[in-house]
Amino acid sequence: MDNAFADLLEANEKYAATFEEGGFDGIARAGVAVITCMDSRIEPLRMLGLNLGDAKILRTPGGRITPDALTGCILGTHVLGVDRILVVPHTRCAMASGDDEAIASKVEAETGVNIHGALLGASTRQRDALHYDVELLRSHPLIGKRAVVGGFMYDVDSGKLNPIE
Ligand SMILES: [Zn+2]
């Protein structure tokens, strides 16, 4: 276990040695919340020209508005200064490559592990899912009046964020 994280802890030592950004609160300084995918090709702050402290970042498989992401949006808009919310799925997302059954079958084929029946939230109808999630936030009684909500598709090959909703 110790060895599994050694390289990361070593890197953190260097990070902390020159860290000079402590001491401020958790308010989103740019008033921004981003809900996007867990995909490793996405850098939520950098792609928006934002820095540490500027935004709340909520990452879920596929960038879907899961119950936890919804909770984050409610807290963000009420106590953390969020007044702009970006919902950002992306191109070539595994969660848009099939439905839950297809993803479960892929997991089973690759690992032999059966996760059929798990609620994954996968769908090939990615644009429809984005529309649904944006409407969910806009119409939510605790969010819609406190924040502007936009839906965007992030292109992992060009780095471009395309407004959709
Ligand atoms: Zn993804």
Give the separation between CA 113 and CA 147, rounded to whole angstroms: 41
Query: Above 90 in pLDDT, residue 2?
Result: no
Residue 42 CA, ligand 1 centroid: distance in Å = 9
Tokens of 32: 């921004």
Least confident of 2-6, 67-71, 141-145: 2-6
Q: Which residues of 58-69 are buried (b: 16+ CB within 10 A; e: fewer)?
A: bebbbbbbbeeb
Mean pLDDT score of the chain: 96
Residue 44 CA, ligand 1 centroid: distance in Å = 13
The predicted pLDDT at position 27 comes to 95
Residue 72 CA, ligand 1 centroid: distance in Å = 19
Interior angle at CA 52, CA 146 and CA 36, nearest 5? 60
Residue 59 CA, ligand 1 centroid: distance in Å = 10
Residue 108 CA, ligand 1 centroid: distance in Å = 19
Q: What is the percentage of the chain residues whose pLDDT exceeds 90?
A: 96
Residue 14 CA, ligand 1 centroid: distance in Å = 30
Give per-residue pLDDT as tens, 77-125. 999 999 999 999 999 999 999 999 999 999 999 999 999 999 999 999 9
Q: What DSSP state is assigned to residue 23?
A: S
Query: Where is the binding site, in residues?
Result: 37, 39, 90, 93
Residue 64 CA, ligand 1 centroid: distance in Å = 9
The predicted pLDDT at position 52 comes to 95
1 pLDDT band (50/70/90 cuts)? low
Q: Following DSSP, what letter does each residue of 33-54 receive, concatenated?
A: EEEEE--TT--HHHHTT--TTS
Query: Where is the binding site for Zn(2+), in residues?
Result: 37, 39, 90, 93
Q: What DSSP state is assigned to residue 10?
A: H
* Domains along the sequence of the chain with CATH: 25-163 (3.40.1050.10)
Query: Above 70 in pLDDT, residue 28?
Result: yes
Residue 77 CA, ligand 1 centroid: distance in Å = 25
The predicted pLDDT at position 24 comes to 87
Q: What DSSP state is assigned to residue 103?
A: H
